[in-house]
Amino acid sequence: MAVEVRPVETGRELRAFIDLPYRLHASADCWVPPLRTERRLFLSRRFNAYFKHATAQLFVARRGPRVVGRISAQIDRAFNEHQDNTWGMFGFLELEDDPDVMRALLEAGAGWLRARGRDRMVGPMDFTMNDECGVLIEGFDREPMIKQPWHPPYYAELCEGAGLTKAVDLYTWEAYIAGARERLAPAIVELGQRLEADHGIRIRKMSRRNLRRELDVFGETYNEAWKDNWGFVPYSSDDLDHYAQELQLVFDRHWFMVAEKSDSGESVGVCITVPDINQVLKRMQGAILPFGWWHFLRRQKIMTRVRVGFLGVKPEYQHTGVAAALYLENFDMAELTPQKGGEMGWILESNTAINRGMEGIGAKRIKRYRVYERELTPSTQPMA
């Protein structure tokens, strides 16, 4: 039968969109099923702040009655404004090992973006670079951590077979506390330890009670420190509202930290390290009932690893040793908590300084994700 791709318009079609990866990856040991309830909320235009500055269309592919693939196409106005371009994105890519399905999905997404004046299609990203992003091309034997995708090897093969080309690769590094300090150059350790004495900058832990206010500090620092990164889009106040709600579920004061001036309280760097809730979701198998809630209540005993999701320093303070102090604080927290190590990333392949820094602390590169792109020719069709 021919592949038919249709936009998601009904609740039943949305359920088919959400359910597909549970069937595709049911026998994959490394795949971690997300909570179906969380996926519904994330895709909701009412509850996800992404839709304050973006629009999206979901698509499902079928052969007869069988669902064989899915994709999203989205336009982020904040991204286009900041980057001064007319790109569109695609995401939520899941499909059977079938080149015809891949071509049909990409054409549906490209057609939707083309009709809205986009000249390039970039992805996958669900919905942004700070959500699940890229296609896994190295590290298939590793379980994904929080906000990381997992794909079987044929996904990358189908992407490249359909004519998508590489836009950028993203690296993930693994490090554990055992012997970490000993592997650091003594000069780096001293630089971090003397941060407050030499520069008047201290490390402070964030507060759960004031987490939303803390995220204003994070957002201000993030928007300055990451502004030159590929694919960057600044966090808005609405984005931070949404992010604060997400982080409440995994907040651990040991791992959420700010570098700030001792005299003025000005934030100069941030580090948000997140205990890996995926270890809990693996046991919950995509549902709270009948027994998923029990694993969630026991999450502090289950989570033994962390993901360093954000570590950045404002450009004018990058010479002071702030990053070194934040790394040392992470090492100290691993001594105090059940989480003895984990992963750092993603990190852009072009970020030579950070990637060399990872090698310098004895980290091992264990995963690589690829973001693809395709140029879009102008549409002669009216916009739907």
* Residues 134 and 190 reside in one and the same domain: no
Whether 344 is in a domain gets the answer no
* Residues 90 and 154 reside in one and the same domain: yes
* Residues 150 and 190 reside in one and the same domain: no
* Residues 279 and 145 reside in one and the same domain: no
Summarize pLDDT for 37-84 with one digit per residue, the tens.
999 999 999 999 999 999 999 999 999 999 999 999 999 999 999 999
Domain that residue 74 falls in: 3-170+371-375
* Residues 201 and 317 reside in one and the same domain: yes
Whether 356 is in a domain gets the answer no
What is the reported pLDDT for 219? 92
**Lookup: tokens for 364:** 């091992």
* Residues 31 and 145 reside in one and the same domain: yes
* Residues 25 and 106 reside in one and the same domain: yes
Interior angle at CA 228, CA 225 and CA 234, nearest 5: 65
> In angstroms, what CA-CA distances link 106 with 58, 67, 69?
12, 16, 11
* Residues 60 and 35 reside in one and the same domain: yes
CATH number of domain containing 288: 3.40.630.30
Summarize pLDDT for 337-367 with one digit per residue, the tens.
999 889 998 999 998 888 988 887 778 999 9
* Residues 130 and 209 reside in one and the same domain: no
* Residues 313 and 209 reside in one and the same domain: yes
* Residues 147 and 183 reside in one and the same domain: no
Whether 313 is in a domain gets the answer yes
Whether 199 is in a domain gets the answer yes
Q: Which residue has the higher pLDDT, 141 or 327?
A: 141
Question: 3-class DSSP state for residue 178?
Answer: coil
Please, which residues have CB within 8 angstroms of residue 157's CB and are 6 or more apart in sequence?
Answer: none
| Structural domains of the chain, count | 2
pTM of the model: 0.91
Using the structure block, give the residue that is written with the tokens 């549906």.
108
Whether 362 is in a domain gets the answer no
208 and 248 Cβ atoms separated by less than 8 Å: yes
* Residues 24 and 7 reside in one and the same domain: yes
